[in-house]
Amino acid sequence: MLKTKLTEILGIDYPIIQAGMGPYSTNYLASAAANAGAVGLISTIGMGVGLGSAVAPPEAREVFKEFGKSPKAILKGTIKMVRGNTKESEGIFGVNIPVSEEFIASAKVFMNATLEMREEDSDYEKRLKLIVTSAGNPSPWAAQLKKSGVVWAHVVPSVYHAKKAEKAGADIIIASGQEGGAHIAWEPVHSMVLLPAVVQAVDKAIVVGAGGYSDGKTLAAALAMGAEGVQMGTRFIATQESDFVQMWKDKIVKCSDRDTLVARGLFGPMRFIKSEASMKIAEATIEKLPRLFLGEPVGVVSEVAQAEIQGFGGLLTGDESKAVMLSGEVAGRIESIPTVKEVIEETTREAEEIIRKMLPSKLAQ
């Protein structure tokens, strides 16, 4: 079994974080990942922009009805659901909260709601152990998060942002290369460059790799570059327990290594699977350049955002050409839809075998 600083600080069996991915709330996925011994993350972005329940599969929409209509009620209900689903395993889970300027009002609601639940019950304090912030400035959240005692991770796309997050007090730096899916940076700094650079740049924080990780080969590579674990997103979309619609899972399996593109998203650039819908977003992005780089005022991105929202609505029609689906480049390496447990166990088994057998065999005797 792999033992790293990540497994120690979170009390998990495997050095793997399941990424928080919208527009769904990842209720079932987070539960499955926590039950399997990794960290399961609840995603809040869909809750914040009003998409989570609207585009979810029918069974997930029924769950939302039980929680109530406000974003705060939906998040609290989701946390209760995941705790219930992981009661027997005592699995560790957390919440991903984007903190971009466009999402700031929702971020405050979700941050307060998550920390309130940890204060209400010792079981939440024990198992709702991780908050991951992303897509914005970590500094304004530092005092509240450090006071709460929760383990705090922040996602970064560069060495500059990694140093800023460590200075703010983040316990974990998630270095996310541009090959990742959904929200990424405009600058094309990929994991092979970013991860070792961040490891070298920070002093005390634990570093986790994200962007392009999907199996034991990539986990072993991350550990070799100095990371203490990985965060995987796209690989977990294409699993049996995933909250994502079947069309999305099937599309990932069908993807080649050239079947994604980058365009302007709801806040900042995002990586999409190529489709008629995502091409429209890319065309709108190109039309608005270079203004998208210059402060990106709401009026400039409205056409792009509208195209994206329409594409998410297209998930309900079953027509993949009209649906917006997010994915990392690693979709080109995914060929099956296993259980979450199978992904986690096979990933770590393969990484252990590479570390024990394959790498030592490369040394001259």
Higher confidence at residue 323 or residue 362?
Answer: 323
Q: Kindly indicate the confidence band of residue 321, based on its pLDDT and cuts at 50, 70 and 90.
A: confident
Please give the average per-residue pLDDT across 184-212, as a whole number.
95
User: What pLDDT shows up at residue 290?
Assistant: 54
Under 8 Å between Cβ of 323 and 247 = yes
Burial class for 231, CB neighbours closer than 10 Å (0-12, 13-18, 19+): buried
User: What pLDDT shows up at residue 154?
Assistant: 98
**Whole-angstrom distance, CA of residue 27 vs CA of residue 50:** 16
Higher confidence at residue 135 or residue 89?
Answer: 89
At 101-114, the pLDDT tens digits run 878 888 899 999 99
Mean pLDDT of the chain: 87
User: In this structure, is the dihedral angle defined by the CA atoms of residues 53, 116, 132 and 229, taken in order, positive or negative?
Assistant: negative
At 217-272, the pLDDT tens digits run 999 999 999 999 999 999 999 999 999 989 999 999 999 999 999 987 777 788 99
% the chain with pLDDT above 70: 86
Residue 15: asked if its preceding bond is cis (omega within 30°), the reply is: no
Given a cut of 80, whether residue 129 has pLDDT beyond it is yes
User: What pLDDT shows up at residue 65?
Assistant: 59
Under 8 Å between Cβ of 308 and 363 = no
- Transcribe 105-162 into DSSP letters: HHHHHHHHHHHHHHHH-HHHHHHEEEEEEESS-SGGGHHHHHHHT-EEEEEESSHHHH
User: What pLDDT shows up at residue 300?
Assistant: 44
Lowest mean pLDDT among 14-23, 142-151, 354-363: 354-363
Predicted TM-score of the model (pTM): 0.90
C-alpha neighbours within 13 Å on the C-beta side of residue 40:
33
User: What pLDDT shows up at residue 299?
Assistant: 46
At 38-75, the pLDDT tens digits run 999 999 987 765 555 555 555 555 555 555 567 888 88
User: What pLDDT shows up at residue 298?
Assistant: 44
Q: Are strands 151-156 and 206-210 parallel, antiparallel or unpaired?
A: unpaired
Q: Which residues pair with 182 in a beta bridge?
A: 271
Please give the average per-residue pLDDT across 173-183, as a whole number.
94
Output 69-74 pairs: Cβ under 8 A, ≥24 positions apart. Answer: 71/44, 71/47, 71/106, 71/109, 71/110, 72/109, 72/110, 72/113, 74/25, 74/47
Please give the average per-residue pLDDT across 338-352, as a whole number.
97
Q: Which residues pair with 156 in a beta bridge?
A: 175
Structure tokens belonging to residue 105 = 């009002």
Higher confidence at residue 118 or residue 66?
Answer: 118
At 273-315, the pLDDT tens digits run 998 888 888 887 777 665 554 445 444 455 666 666 666 667 7
Under 8 Å between Cβ of 241 and 32 = yes
Given a cut of 90, whether residue 210 has pLDDT beyond it is yes
**Whole-angstrom distance, CA of residue 19 vs CA of residue 180:** 11
Q: Which domains does the chain have, with CATH numbers?
A: 5-244 (3.20.20.70), 252-316 (no CATH)
